Amino acid sequence: MTATSFVPSSRIRAAFARAMSDMYRHEVPQYGQLLQLVQQINQQELAQDPELQQALDASDNLQRLSDERHGAIRVGSASELATLRRLFAVMGMYPVAYYDLSEGGIPVHSTAFRPLQLDELNANPFRIFTSLLRLDLIKDQDLHAQAQQLLASRSIFTDGVIRLIEQFEQQQGLTQQQAGDFVQEALETFRWHQQARVDRSQYQRFLHSHRLIADIVCFRGPHINHLTPRTLNIDRAQLQMQAMEMNPKAIIEGPPRRKHPILLRQTSFKALDEDILFFDTDGKQQAGSHTARFGEIEQRGMALTPKGRDLYDQLLQQVRQEVVDPVADVDTYYRQLDKAFAQFPDDLQQIWQQQLGYFRYRAATDTAVPLTADWNWLLDNGHVHLLPITYEDFLPVSAAGIFHSNLQEQPSQQVTRSPNQAAFEQALGCPVISEFEFYAQIQARSIEQCLQQLGFDEADSAGLLHEVTINP
Ligand code: OOG
Ligand code: NI
């Protein structure tokens, strides 16, 4: 068999994303409503703002807008996480970034499996935020042991998907038939199971320890807990969700609304109460309910350099210290957020000058430019345009906010901050990929191309390259 008969991983990813969306809409009809709302708002925004349309078009974002989606799952053991890594690799999705959620009082740490190259993201941007339970943070030894036993005795993957993953690894690809089977088999891992694996009292014990633990250990699999389309106006979407009584969370996570959006803003409708079944001690079924699944939306802005990210973290932390419980006083929270972020320039040239964000450099002319030109001159004279690079990753403080609003109540067990990237990577079976390197590479390649187009040879570009490579 020749390599050309294999299905490109982006096609498998797209088919999987579609199948997942269909399944989730069927399982959680309110998610279908959210999708419609976002589509409507995006159409209106594009119609009202031709500049936005152009900007999205120029950065290759327009054609993938309607299928921009992420999802999230939570798993319980190292071996589950390691097999997921192999499963996602079939779809060209690799672990990018380490997120410590213990900081936000959540006993998990996470990564996001996503495509790595820009052309892959453009082909299909689907990604999965994946969290691993920190059993080491469960203080109650008895519960800890029970959780371990439940996790060790479940198998969240079908035999079929394991076989296909092995085939993929041997052949370095899947045929059309195998790819179709793979999507169906892989989907099973993410399906909802109404039947819990424990009785009611055991479920309650986990719930009281931390609601998240009950969600992770009491079921047969790590049901997909939300999907997320991309909106062009999250403020409008939030208002509409309120008007439609969709029970949105109280605040939009992330930076405030800006002329030039940075990073990521997110909100969600809160997790629904869903009917589940317990086994009682006689093996009979008993009705109960579980709250875990929700729908989320996101608005993406530009990726920030480590320097920009530090400024973002520092400003957000300042606001969180001033307004300890944003949910209790939403207006004050937004006001303080706006006030603090006045310190973050909202002008592309300034963001570039202060090296706070990543950009693609586009040569705007084919005419030769003086070899003595510097970037300021090239930009000011319209020879080069700067296009912000879209942020493709996540934010731990926002993620913790999303977790919290879907856990209904404050956890009774305190979780202390304890990042452990080494333990996470050991469970995963490889290091996570640095998100900053990804953006820096896109930027560096665009600079090279831009200089070539402007007629600079290697020696001539040295000065200009030096000027921008201080940018990580
Ligand atoms: C994941 C929450 C984090 C995001 O978009 O930041 C997340 C979860 O609830 O499992 O999805
Ligand atoms: Ni999410």
Q: Which atom of ligand 1 is nearest to the CA of 394?
A: 6
User: What are 219-244's pLDDT values in tens digits?
Assistant: 999 999 999 999 999 999 999 999 99
Q: Which atom of ligand 1 is nearest to the CA of 294?
A: 9
Q: Which atom of ligand 1 is nearest to the CA of 131?
A: 10
Predicted confidence at residue 60, as pLDDT, reads: 63
CA distance 305 to 356: 5
pLDDT beyond 60 at 470: no
Average pLDDT on 249-269 reads: 96
Q: Which ligand is nearest to the CA of 399?
A: 1
Predicted confidence at residue 409, as pLDDT, reads: 60
CA distance 376 to 353: 9
Q: Which ligand is nearest to the CA of 407?
A: 1
CA distance 322 to 319: 5
CA distance 178 to 173: 9
What's the maximum distance between 2 C-alpha atoms anywhere in the chain? Answer: 85
User: What are 155-194's pLDDT values in tens digits?
Assistant: 999 999 999 999 999 999 999 999 999 999 999 999 999 9
Q: Which ligand is nearest to the CA of 395?
A: 1
Closest listed residue to residue 461, CA positions, set 116, 452, 57, 184: 452
The C-alpha torsion from 278 through 290 and 417 to 296, rounded to 10°, is 150
pLDDT beyond 80 at 149: yes
- Cα 227 to ligand 2 centre (Å): 7
Predicted confidence at residue 319, as pLDDT, reads: 96
Q: Which atom of ligand 1 is nearest to the CA of 253?
A: 6
Predicted confidence at residue 286, as pLDDT, reads: 92
User: What are 189-224's pLDDT values in tens digits?
Assistant: 999 999 999 999 999 999 998 889 999 999 999 999
| Ligand 1 atom 2 nearest Cα | 399
Check residues 312 and 53 and name the one with the higher pLDDT. Answer: 312
Q: What does the chain come to in residues?
A: 472
Kind of pairing between the strands at 264-269 and 108-114:
unpaired
Burial class (CB in 10 A: 0-12, 13-18, 19+), 439: buried
- Cβ-based neighbours of 422, under 8 Å, separated by 6 or more: none
Predicted confidence at residue 370, as pLDDT, reads: 83
- Cα 312 to ligand 1 centre (Å): 20
Q: Where are the domains of the chain?
A: 3-302+397-433
| Ligand 1 atom 5 nearest Cα | 399
Q: What percent of the chain has pLDDT over 90?
A: 76
Residues with a CB atom less than 6 Å from ligand 1 = 72, 74, 129, 131, 225, 266, 296, 394, 398-399, 402-403
- Cα 271 to ligand 1 centre (Å): 12
The CATH code of the domain at 3-302+397-433 is: 3.10.180.80
Predicted confidence at residue 71, as pLDDT, reads: 97
CA distance 57 to 55: 5
Predicted confidence at residue 267, as pLDDT, reads: 96
Average pLDDT on 52-61 reads: 74
Choosing from 296, 404, 435 the residue with most ligand 1 atoms within 8 A of its CB, the one to mutate for a pocket test is 296
| Ligand 1 atom 4 nearest Cα | 399
Q: Name which of 316-320, 372-376, 402-406, 411-415 the model is least confident about.
A: 411-415
pLDDT beyond 50 at 413: yes
Q: Which atom of ligand 1 is nearest to the CA of 296?
A: 5
- Cα 100 to ligand 1 centre (Å): 12
Q: Which atom of ligand 1 is nearest to the CA of 402?
A: 2
- Cα 77 to ligand 1 centre (Å): 18
Q: How confident is the model at residue 469 (pLDDT cuts 50, 70, 90)?
A: low
Average pLDDT on 82-92 reads: 98
- Cβ-based neighbours of 364, under 8 Å, separated by 6 or more: 382, 383, 384, 385
Q: What percent of the chain has pLDDT over 70?
A: 95
Q: Which two tokens stand for residue 322?
A: 């001033």
CA distance 315 to 445: 31
Contact 73, 128 (CB under 8 A): yes
Helix axes 29-48, 234-243, angle to 10 degrees: 130
Average pLDDT, the chain: 91
Kind of pairing between the strands at 285-291 and 273-279:
antiparallel
Which whole-number Å values give the CA distances from 383 to 56, 171, 187, 368, in the listed order? 20, 47, 49, 10
End-to-end Cα, the chain, rounded Å = 43
Predicted confidence at residue 411, as pLDDT, reads: 45
Contact 356, 304 (CB under 8 A): yes
Average pLDDT on 353-373 reads: 88
pTM: 0.94
CA distance 392 to 373: 33
| Ligand 1 atom 11 nearest Cα | 72
- Cα 6 to ligand 1 centre (Å): 33
